[in-house]
């Protein structure tokens, strides 16, 4: 079974992120869910992003890096939207990475160097999500998939950003069920 570090999105460590982690645990995986916001959660994406800006995106990312350093190194790094930032940085730069799962976001590989050989990755997003499709994340995901041997991009119909968080109005149950099946298949391949 895989050991996963799952980083939350800009609205904080919501019940939906915790629920997603619990789903992976029910399948037998170990899942760590660090709180990058030190207990703060936000009703809207805008409020959460305002908090991240006020705190400093670098500080939020550093909290994620520090949380992972307390764990072993044979980890799968996963992130929801804002959480992709530390997940991708760790997947690309921490020795021993076993895989990466990016939900609702993807940064250009060059942001953190090069993609390491042998580290599989999945990227999940909605094809009509303006934050994913129109702000460069989809392009970055396509470039990643085109340059990495074991990489998959999954696009879901719809336009919601945080569709896999069951505690938010943007939740899409059908898309999340399919995403979860794909993630569990991915994790089952991790040694």
Whole-Å CA distances, 67 to 13, 73, 89, 135, 187: 14, 12, 13, 28, 21
Contacts of 135 (CB under 8 A, 6+ apart): none
Domain residue limits at 31: 3-188
- Is 191 a residue whose pLDDT tops 80? no
DSSP-assigned beta bridge partners for residue 100: 77, 121
Task: Round to whole Å and give the CA distance between 89 and 93.
Answer: 6
Mean pLDDT on 79-102: 97
Per-residue confidence (pLDDT) for residue 157, from 0 to 100: 97
For the stretch 118-166, pLDDT in tens is 999 999 999 999 999 999 999 999 999 999 999 999 999 999 999 999 9
Which tens digit of pLDDT belongs to each residue from 6-56?
999 999 999 999 999 999 999 999 999 999 999 999 999 999 999 999 999
Instruction: Look at the chain and report how many structural domains it folds into.
Output: 1
CATH of the domain at 8: 3.40.50.1820
pTM, entire model: 0.96
Task: Please give the pLDDT value at position 89.
Answer: 96
């Amino acid at each position: 079974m895989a050991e996963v570090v799952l980083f939350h999105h800009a609205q904080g460590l919501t019940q939906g992120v915790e629920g997603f982690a619990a789903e992976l645990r029910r399948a037998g995986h170990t899942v760590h869910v660090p709180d990058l916001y030190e207990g703060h959660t936000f009703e809207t994406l805008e409020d959460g992003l305002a908090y991240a800006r006020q705190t400093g995106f670098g500080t939020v990312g550093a909290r994620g890096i520090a949380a992972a350093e307390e764990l072993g190194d044979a980890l799968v790094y996963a992130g929801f939207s804002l959480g992709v930032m530390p997940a991708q940085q760790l997947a690309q730069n921490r020795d021993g990475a076993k895989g990466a799962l990016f939900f609702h976001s993807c940064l250009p590989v060059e942001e953190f160097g090069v993609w390491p050989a042998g580290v599989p990755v999945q990227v999940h997003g909605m094809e009509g999500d303006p934050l994913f499709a129109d702000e460069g994340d989809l392009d970055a995901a396509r470039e990643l998939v085109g340059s990495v041997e074991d990489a998959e991009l999954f696009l879901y119909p719809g336009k919601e950003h945080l569709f896999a968080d069951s505690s938010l109005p943007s939740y899409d149950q059908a898309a999340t069920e399919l995403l979860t099946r794909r993630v569990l298949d991915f994790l089952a391949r991790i040694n």
